[in-house]
Structure 1
Amino acid sequence: PGHEGGVALDDLPTMIDRIAGLPGAEFAGLTTFPALLFDSASGGARLTPNAETLARAAEIARGHPASPQALEINAPGTTSTEVLGMLAEAGATQVEPGHGLTGTTPLHGVRYLPEQPAVLYLSEVAHIHQGVPLCFGGGLYIDPVFGDYQVRAVVAHDPSEVSTEPVPVDMPAPAAIDYYARLHPGESRTVAEGDTVVFGFRVQAFVTRTLIVGLTGVSSGRAQVAGIWNGFGDEVSVGGSG
């Protein structure tokens, strides 16, 4: 629900006619979303009914005189190298990288795959209320592909503490993701305002109010900021830097 749209199969020939009749445009291919979904029962991915509809649409399109010889079939959803064979067998000619780019598809949460997780959610302790540390939210939203689970975060004052045991976190409700998350370190842990808080979960950039920072050189130990963007993809300037 909430993903509905597109063109009905019976209306596809008419839509191709309309596209072919537009100046400066031509019909090139078809897409659907999602073509694949994570199956929690098997721990793998499965084709959705959308994939079958896409295959039927491709048959219709190939019979249309305006169809290109090499019809493009775009079939995104839970994309990673693990599922490329399945998508190819279903007729896909291309996909979007999606969370495969950052190694954060649901499959990456249950298997070791070639793509390594390469994104984190960085916050800090905002204040301590009645002995409970709270960290900044700013769109602290986890894509609910796994349902509810105990979220944990690394809390550290400096790099020497990053190997300490992650602490349990009470995540905010969806209506309060721009506020705070509550941290529950053990009694032996000392947490102060300004301490760094590092989460590792499946983010959705389009719901965040925080900044998105791209880094290069991490694997070589020479990390550099490649750019800073907001949730809309607009590059922003921070502290007077470009």
Structure 2
Amino acid sequence: MKRKIILVCICILALTIFSSAQSVVITKKAVTYKRPKPNSEYKHTFVVNYPKVKASTPSISKLIEAAISYEKVFDMKLSEEMGEYQWLEVADYEIGYNKNGILSISLFMEGSAAYPDSSRRFVVIDTKTGKRVTPAAAFTNAIALLKMVIKAKDQEVAQAISDLKKDPENADAPLDDMFRDSEQYNKVSLNEFSISDRGVTFHHNYGFAHVAKALEPNGEFMFTWAQLKPFIKSGGLLSRIAR
């Protein structure tokens, strides 16, 4: 009897560990930073909403927090915002997917200098290892997959130019030049992607100047799991949910 109880406890513990590895608990911790020498009345403070993670173990929790930290994802230092460089107003995040051992999260920053601006990044995490999932780890036949994403982008650009030219307000806008410059300086890649129940969305920033931001297309190219089946790496993280 005692042996049976021990076996039951072991099974419950194993199931608990497995379940916790399938998703993580994320709570928001808002921290308001006060600048010692604000350069305007609007720059006294900025707010950072940190995603605090509780995973299957403390060590994996720390790995995930490090992988999705604003400093890591945006390649910046928050300490610089306390000095002369005073752009940031708020940093926040949104959870897109958190199950099946996968965390898909987007982080964004909003601020202002000469004009308001924002930046957003997308990160996918393996919650079992705590590591970021790269395109190389998730997909196969990357060249063909990239061509498929580029084709979707080209279709979006063609449709955007057609729609914009119908508006008389855009008569003087150098639309063809804007998209040509974007093509040259903002190459499409597989690096920015997010996960949902439906499939994978690849994200592209056209990099339009602030004055033309309103003309910029969405830059989101969603493919269903069925469409992506030939490109999902066998045994990889995404193969768990691709169908």
TM > 0.5: no
**TM-score when normalising by structure 1:** 0.25
Higher RCO (C-alpha under 8 Å, 6+ residues apart): 2
**TM-score when normalising by structure 2:** 0.25
More strand by share: 2
